[in-house]
């Protein structure tokens, strides 16, 4: 099961209480105060781990907790600090804090979200909730005028709250197109990714990211975004469920059924997809983009290719056939120039 957004509750550990203890050693009947401090509560920490690609771990247990600190003890012994709660999350996670307030005008509770972290780098850590401080023992309160203090301070509560986790895939380029345009087949030709392929709409039900190796030291990543339909910006069909996954892409690759083998008009498809992208995010609409004229091995493809190039004169149009492997070398060269980057060993 693929889960890319979820609501979770997080609570850091509470600090341990300080100790109000008096020393009672042999031959020291009035040894004085020696109560130690309480330990600090553990933090709730998010750690980016590339081996995870979904939030399904938190679907069954949407709670993140850390251990409470232990109370102080005699002989000025400080209580043990609580263990941190470290939770592994996939790269590309956008974390927002959920807050509810009462709207006096409407008389209803209003839910607001505030972004607090954008986790993209492998190994990156973020303290979601900070643990409480341990309390002070009575040894801190002794003075010439208060030689037997019974005062101590309790530990403070750790931070807690509700959070919204939203996963946005990290890829250099995103394949965008209507269902059955050939995006999944194309991704298998470019990389070692193995998305599900079949001749029916919405075969792909979750984003797939493939690594495209241009040379031994140069590579890039391409994401196959599930097929969009008209109205996707308003959450029609799969809608917002997957449009969010192209927000990080540096370039958008619009894959089109050039011969119209599915009974569609390739020019109208491009115009509709561009409109949906623009309505969803004006920022995303400004990203560089090109057209991958797919299925060039089928009849009427050449005629429609000429119409595409005439209609979109300022846009790069690359004729390909993902099924037959036609135009792959030219596409790889283009992607190497646009998204390729050197890797360190």
DSSP 64-129: EE-PPPPPPBTTTBPPPPPPPEEEEE-TTEEEEEEEEEEETTTTEEEEEEEEEEEE-STT-EEEEE
Q: Identify the band that residue 233 occupies on the pLDDT scale cut at 50, 70 and 90.
A: very low
Q: Is the pLDDT of residue 320 over 60?
A: yes
Residues facing residue 257 across a β-bridge: 294
Q: Please report, for the chain, the start and end positions of each structural domain, with discontinuous segments joined by +.
A: 5-167, 173-342
pLDDT score of 237: 41
Sole residue written with tokens 């599915």: 262
- Contact status, residue 294 vs residue 264, Cβ threshold 8 Å: no
Q: Mention every residue, 6+ apart, whose C-beta is less than 8 A from residue 261.
A: 295, 298
- Contact status, residue 233 vs residue 276, Cβ threshold 8 Å: yes
pLDDT score of 277: 86
Q: Give the mean pLDDT of 273-295.
A: 90
pLDDT in tens, 33-80: 888 999 999 999 999 998 887 788 888 889 999 999 999 998 889 999
The verdict on pTM exceeding 0.75 is no
Q: Which CATH architecture has domain 173-342?
A: 3-Layer(aba) Sandwich (3.40)
The three state secondary structure string of 132-174 is CCCCCCHHHHCECCECCCCCCCCCCCCCEEEEEEEECCCCCEE
Helix, strand, coil percent content, the chain, rounded in steps of 5: 20, 30, 50
Which residue did the predictor score with more confidence, 158 or 100? 158
Which residue did the predictor score with more confidence, 50 or 255? 255
Q: Which CATH architecture has domain 5-167?
A: Distorted Sandwich (2.70)
Q: Give the mean pLDDT of 150-162.
A: 93
Q: What is the CA radius of gyration of the chain?
A: 29
Q: Is the pLDDT of residue 16 over 70?
A: yes
Q: Give the mean pLDDT of 197-217.
A: 64
- Contact status, residue 224 vs residue 210, Cβ threshold 8 Å: yes
């Amino acid at each position: 099961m693929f889960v890319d957004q979820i609501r979770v509750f997080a609570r850091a550990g509470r600090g341990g209480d300080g100790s109000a203890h008096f020393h009672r050693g042999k031959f020291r009947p009035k040894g004085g105060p020696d109560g130690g401090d309480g330990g600090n509560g553990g933090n709730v920490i998010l750690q980016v781990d590339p081996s995870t690609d979904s939030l399904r771990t938190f679907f069954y247990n949407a709670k993140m907790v850390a251990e409470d600190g232990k109370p102080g003890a005699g002989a000025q012994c400080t209580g043990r600090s609580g263990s941190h709660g470290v939770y592994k999350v996939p790269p590309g996670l956008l974390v927002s804090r959920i807050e509810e307030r009462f709207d006096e005008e409407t008389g209803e509770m209003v839910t607001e979200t505030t972004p607090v972290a954008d986790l993209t780098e492998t190994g990156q850590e973020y303290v979601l909730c900070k643990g409480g401080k341990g309390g002070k023992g009575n040894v801190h309160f002794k003075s010439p005028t208060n030689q037997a203090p019974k005062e101590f301070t309790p530990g403070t509560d750790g931070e807690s709250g509700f959070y919204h986790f939203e996963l946005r895939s990290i890829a250099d380029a995103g394949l965008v197109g209507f269902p059955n345009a050939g995006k999944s087949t194309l991704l298998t030709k470019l990389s070692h990714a193995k998305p599900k392929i079949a001749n029916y709409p919405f075969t792909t039900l979750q984003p797939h990211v493939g690594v495209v190796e241009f040379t031994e030291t140069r590579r890039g990543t391409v994401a196959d975004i599930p097929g969009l339909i008209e109205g996707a910006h308003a959450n029609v069909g799969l809608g917002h469920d997957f449009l969010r996954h192209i927000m990080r892409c540096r370039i958008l690759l619009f894959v089109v059924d050039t011969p119209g083998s599915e009974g569609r008009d390739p020019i109208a498809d491009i115009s509709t997809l561009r409109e949906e992208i623009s309505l969803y995010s004006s920022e995303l609409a400004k990203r560089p983009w090109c057209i991958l004229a797919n299925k060039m091995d089928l009849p009427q493809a050449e005629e429609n290719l000429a119409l595409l190039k005439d209609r979109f004169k300022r846009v790069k149009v690359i004729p390909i056939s993902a099924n037959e492997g036609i135009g792959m070398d030219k596409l790889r060269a283009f992607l190497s120039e646009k998204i390729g980057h050197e890797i360190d060993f």
